[in-house]
Structure 1
């Protein structure tokens, strides 16, 4: 996808923030551009990491979530506050890469299984037909030289006739199976039992060793088969997955996953402002600086050991974001600042932005609530002035209290539809017109009360 196409897709779900959309679109496109460059120079081209700065609720995390769906690449979103420096209780930053490679292995396996699914479905179909039409056992016939010399053999004629009848019956069942007429019929199926999962409590920072022990113990119970009674529809799915898995080469999947992470991996570091050390450093600030120092080699480029092999992070794209209310980007250690050359500031949301979020995206809040309540026979009709009034109230509450951005709309609209949602389903079909007067009547307390503590998320 070109940057313009990526921005166009993001616009379907995210209002405003054009600078941030353009920055991530160019960064995503640069992954493809780098792959087109000849090999000697390709290794020298490193991704330009992005730092997104903006208040809460303006779309930073949503951009990451939508980018993950657009990018056909391994993608992971982590909160840096969950990590501690090496030697302290908690997860170390290397686990980011280990989690990313797990995602890549899963993606690669699903992609490879999709390629062989048609062939796997054919094998699964044959196995189901074998269960429905088991081959009859025929007694062995000892043929002497004298009998073999005879031109006509009654036993052979009977066997040929039986094979023709069996093939005709099999084709009839195959046709009914493909038409779905046998979906509800139950059959006994022998399936490879999945290994029992074992919970192992390991020391902090030793997740890799713990995972290896768990895998070793789990593999000891694999290979066994269990018999289950399932419908043919479910059996088709189970057998297709089993046959597809047999066609895959685990070693190839692992090597492809490692290659995919090294060349196309994207890591989204959320809440990075929470580990920025302010000028008045205290004991807690030391640990925050330690996490920054541990992140530095990961962002610069290092090699991390995983159970799938060594993974280089030189060409992984890092996108960091934070509100930076109590700290500034300059509070990060200088080395880490230098590794995020592209900085994008996201704007606070206006009344017009709130209005567009309510009704201007493909999966807007208005459309969500309309679809949700329509299942109970309630038809919501949001009038334009009603939507405008909702946006004004949400903006006003944010101004008077804590500004939580677009998340405030959830609070306001839940309060607005509180009574309607409660009685829905018990009073038959309803038609509710939501205009400015309806909004004012339902949210009068929210609009006038200066405290508003009840409505703060």
Structure 2
């Protein structure tokens, strides 16, 4: 009995869905309950009666229900048979706000309130704890996000309607685009959906429709529509939907996807499948208003640097003001000079760029930045390995020269911070394998010689049994 009561309480938080048309009660109206806990909207019930009235002389009418009505006996639990990830939460009734923006217990965690919205310098300060460098990018994102949620939370659209400022990030791989967005969503405690533009296609083709990004945000908000309408969507690899050049086939994953995303970026009411990425007859549908959803797009934009160099060198080609063709070849931050015209030539349509007014670039990772990334952030990669070995009661240390050597190796790979873990995993493999064998190892120090394969790490034993174990250990 207790389990039944719990199930009823759980289901009371969710909207009931019509068994036939799969519309939730917020769209279809009050549901009609029939045996087996099945819910049917008034429209579908009327259509059923009309069809039964038009079936005079149908042999199945003799002796009970016609065969096509067997669908009602298919599910023993009706509404309870719907998967949990396809149930929509009911809208919460508006309650009077507590003083100082606090909840019932004075807890503001997870509640966005204009009086508790952090200022741009505080947002940047939190980003500094997790993201190294990229000061300009963090400043731009802090201001853009602050203005966006100030617009959402105050809801002052009486005289002057403030348009939202979607963001476009341009930067090389491994510079921290995705990590910036994840950290930002964690600071603001809002739902975040991260999706990849490479899987998006035009409606009607194999692949995900553009509305699938909203389905992921709805899932991240626990199927709470109101909460999802104040979330953040990060679309990575946005450069992959650029217009394809020199192609004779239909561009179903390029320009057409950009055109399909226009209504999402600007703000409109979109029909979204619940718990699925594609629309079909068996999935409930709901409506999401995208006017208050912040869209952040990011991409590496390969070969965009060539377009920028061509523009810069062609501005003055003759005379004393002429730029040499190789002037910008060694400029690692050439993407900082990007303009809207460069992105148009790359293949982004002007209507799409017009809905992304905040455009900025991220710096390429230098050796100094890579060395700081390994040691300074709260969850730096070296701190992660130190914590892993601390569980085995072993103190792991890294020499400054060793950190610099790792950063140098990573910079040579040209993949940004992503190269760090691959390099560290390589030389930490033997250490992680050997340490559990010997319970008396107290400290391991990673040296530059070990990183460069010229020596071994420095191992220190505990005080007890140190002399005997050092002789047993191979050189």
**Smaller-chain TM-score bracket:** 0.5 to 0.7
Structure 1 position 321 matched with structure 2 position 337: no
Q: TM-score, normalised by structure 2?
A: 0.57
Which residue is 1:260 aligned to?
227
Structure 1 position 38 matched with structure 2 position 156: yes
Written as runs of structure 1 = structure 2, the 5 A alignment for 1:443-454 is: none
Which residue is 2:449 aligned to?
437
More helix by share: 1
Gaps of 5+ in 2: 1-117, 273-283, 305-341, 457-475
Structure 1 position 347 matched with structure 2 position 363: yes
Give, in whole Å, the separation in 2 of the partners of 1:354 and 1:443. 23
Written as runs of structure 1 = structure 2, the 5 A alignment for 1:248-397 is: 257-262=224-229, 264-283=230-249, 285-306=251-272, 307=284, 309-326=286-303, 329-330=343-344, 331-395=347-411, 397=412
- Tell me by how many angstroms 1:346 deviates: 0.7
- For residues 120-168 of structure 1, give each alpha carbon's deviation from its aligned partner in whole angstroms, at most 9, with x where no partner exists: xxxxxxxxxxxxxxxxxxxxxxxxxxxxxxxxxxxxxxxxxxxxxxxxx
CA change 1:373–1:442 in 2 (3 A) is: farther
- Tell me by how many angstroms 1:295 deviates: 0.8
- For residues 240-277 of structure 1, give each alpha carbon's deviation from its aligned partner in whole angstroms, at most 9, with x where no partner exists: xxxxxxxxxxxxxxxxx433333x22111110001112
Give, in whole Å, the separation in 2 of the partners of 1:73 and 1:369. 30
Give, in whole Å, the separation in 1 of the partners of 2:385 and 2:164. 40
Which residue is 1:6 aligned to?
123
Give, in whole Å, the separation in 1 of the partners of 2:191 and 2:297. 16
Structure 1 position 420 matched with structure 2 position 431: yes
Give, in whole Å, the separation in 2 of the partners of 1:294 and 1:429. 62
Which structure exhibits the higher relative contact order, with contacts defined as CA atoms closer than 8 Å and separated by 6 or more residues?
1
Among candidates 183, 193, 198, match of residue 66 of structure 1: 183
Q: In terms of mean alpha carbon deviation, does 5-14 or 307-316 score higher?
A: 307-316
Give, in whole Å, the separation in 2 of the partners of 1:58 and 1:66. 14
- Tell me by how many angstroms 1:361 deviates: 1.0
**RMSD value, Cα:** 2.2
Gaps of 5+ in 1: 107-256, 445-457
| Contact 1:46/1:315, CA 8 A, preserved across alignment | no
- Tell me by how many angstroms 1:100 deviates: 1.9
| Contact 1:415/1:443, CA 8 A, preserved across alignment | no
| Contact 2:449/2:455, CA 8 A, preserved across alignment | no
Give, in whole Å, the separation in 1 of the partners of 2:249 and 2:454. 49
| Contact 1:377/1:425, CA 8 A, preserved across alignment | no
CA change 1:300–1:385 in 2 (3 A) is: same
| Contact 2:398/2:446, CA 8 A, preserved across alignment | yes
CA change 1:420–1:323 in 2 (3 A) is: same
Where 1:274 maps in the other structure, the secondary structure is: helix
Give, in whole Å, the separation in 2 of the partners of 1:442 and 1:69. 42
- Tell me by how many angstroms 1:101 deviates: 2.5
Which residue is 2:198 aligned to?
81
Where 1:343 maps in the other structure, the secondary structure is: strand
Q: TM-score, normalised by structure 1?
A: 0.59
Structure 1 position 28 matched with structure 2 position 5: no
Among candidates 197, 219, 233, match of residue 102 of structure 1: 219
